[in-house]
Amino acid sequence: MTTKLYDILNSLPNELAFEKENEQKHAPLTTLPDEVVVLILRKLDPTSIERFAAVSRKARVISLDPAIWR
């Protein structure tokens, strides 16, 4: 049985927070499609989104997507 991305995203808690990660651990943003990142960011509070935007130029561009701020 396969799980749909929609079901995975809906199973996440409503109050997610972007927390500081271990910078030694490799987790490149480029491995996820921008659309998936936008769906995740829509679950975050504005402060967490701004923290995410400070990570890199790509993160900043993605964080400006109007779908996040609806």
Residue 60 — very low, low, confident or very high, per pLDDT cuts 50/70/90?
Answer: very high
pLDDT tops 60 at residue 1: no
| Mean pLDDT value of segment 12-33 | 74
- Please measure the distance between the N-terminal and C-terminal CA atoms of the chain and give it in whole angstroms: 33
Q: In the predicted model, is pLDDT for residue 58 greater than 80? A: yes
| Domains, in order of start, for the chain | 31-70 (1.20.1280)
The per-residue pLDDT of the chain, averaged, comes to: 84
Distance of alpha carbon 13 from alpha carbon 57, whole angstroms: 27
pLDDT in tens, 25-48: 766 777 888 999 999 999 999 999
